Structure 1
Amino acid sequence: MNDTTKTVPISGRISQDDYEFLMQQSFGGKVTASEKLRFVASFFRQYHEHFGTYAEGVEELNRIGEPARKNLRQLEMKQKVHSDLIDMAAHLLPQAIAYLASRQDPPADKEELPYLLETEEKLLSILLRVIEQTLRLGLTREAPTYNPRLLDDKLETISELVGLISERDHSPNP
């Protein structure tokens, strides 16, 4: 926070657990509860101001997920395993969430249907990529996942649904 920024005094109470949590956090040299509370309020404001676009949302979600991905990569290295499923989910799911979060400001009334149609189509595109990549994992006898048999018997329903859709699309119209 810029030291020349005008401040406004506030007063309030927080739970003992929240206070202890706040005081245990290291916020770039902030020591007092007031300094830390100012930092948290500033961070929260910036978070909401900068999460508005799709690209910023993907970046923020990737930043949030990075510690977990790092832990998983370290464990994979230690155990000498890898999961394409984890990689795919970590890459595509933040895209879907960021796109949805970036759709916060609906247009004027006359443009609502195109806005809804565009939102639906973009989310479908991302979800179809998830489905397609998941199906690709099931192409070989052993999936490139921690458990090579992970997809056994889990893709049968999807396969059946795709077959039914194919039959419907190739049957003569009544």
Structure 2
Amino acid sequence: MPSSVAGEGGFPDFHCCWRFLRITKLCRRTRRGSGIPSSPLIFHSKIDVRLQTSYDVLQRDMASLNTPLSVRLSDEDTSFLAKLEVDGALTASDKIRGLIRQARQRAEPVENFSAALVISHEQLAAAVRAVRIIEQDLDRHSDVTVGLMTAAEELLALALAAPRPGSASGADDLVRHEARLVDCAARMTDQLLRWAVTPTAPAYEPAVISRRLAELSDLMKLVSAALAAR
């Protein structure tokens, strides 16, 4: 049986309405205990500060949500949505709004590296969290794994912040973008080489780096010879 999760039949979102009524009830109950008239809904005392903030935020949020949308999902999709983590959202309606926001971020050009870093962090957060949970459960840790995943987050952010067509300084933008990508990759390589200085790296498998770099030793010798010949 399909499930309706947001704005069914054009009615306001149930969770938003419930929160609104609950905050209103708490505000009036608080003022009755303080001898303050409960109507109209005006905030008077310091004890209402947090309720005032919640009330104002909720009023603003509800005012911006003026387009009802009905969505029907299968039981399987509803179960998936219930388990999905989206920006800390708890209700299906909030999660769907979060998913739409994320989709809009991916579709629109990324304005700067800061915005790109937010997107890359969101993309990799679940994977990083899963690794750390397993590490905690098994009482093991790998600086190599966590370090490379962190570097991958930065590299992805740089890639997302690529220059866009139509820029007047397109050629210069490409040069700067390329240099930033190379710098990031070089830092990753530098870290790998530092881990390889000792026979055992801070990894789940201590020989994982030294073994792999040994396979590249001939190539590194050729690179060193080429640099010396210049």
2:142 paired with 1:83: yes
Q: C-alpha distance in 2, partners of 1:40/1:70?
A: 19
Report if aligned partners of 2:163, 2:177 keep a CA contact under 8 Å in 1: no
Q: C-alpha distance in 2, partners of 1:22/1:117?
A: 42
Identity %: 22
2:226 matched residue in structure 1: 168
Segments of 5+ residues of structure 1 without an aligned counterpart are none
Segments of 5+ residues of structure 2 without an aligned counterpart are 1-59
For 1:84, give the aligned amino acid.
D
Flag the 1:159–1:146 CA change in 2: closer, same or farther, 3 A: same
2:90 paired with 1:28: yes
Q: C-alpha distance in 1, partners of 2:101/2:138?
A: 41
Alignment partner for residue 189 of structure 2, among 117, 131, 146? 131
Q: C-alpha distance in 1, partners of 2:219/2:125?
A: 35
Q: Which has the higher contact order (CA 8 A, sep 6+)?
A: 1
Range moving further from structure 2, 89-98 or 56-65 = 56-65
Range moving further from structure 2, 18-27 or 162-171 = 18-27
Q: C-alpha distance in 2, partners of 1:140/1:97?
A: 29
For 1:169, give the aligned amino acid.
L
Alignment partner for residue 58 of structure 1, among 111, 117, 122? 117
Shift of 1:75: 3.2
Shift of 1:51: 5.4
Q: C-alpha distance in 2, partners of 1:168/1:154?
A: 22
Flag the 1:140–1:39 CA change in 2: closer, same or farther, 3 A: closer
Flag the 1:74–1:53 CA change in 2: closer, same or farther, 3 A: same
For 2:223, give the aligned amino acid.
I
Alignment partner for residue 162 of structure 2, among 89, 98, 103? 103
Q: C-alpha distance in 1, partners of 2:81/2:146?
A: 33
Q: C-alpha distance in 1, partners of 2:78/2:205?
A: 43
Range moving further from structure 2, 142-151 or 68-77 = 68-77
**Of the two, which has the highest radius of gyration?**
2
Deviations 1:48-71 (A, max 9, x none): 669542123223433443444344
Shift of 1:95: 0.7
Shift of 1:81: 2.7
Q: State TM-score, norm by structure 1.
A: 0.72
* 1:42-57 matches, cutoff 5 A: 42=101, 44-45=103-104, 52-57=111-116
Shift of 1:140: 0.5
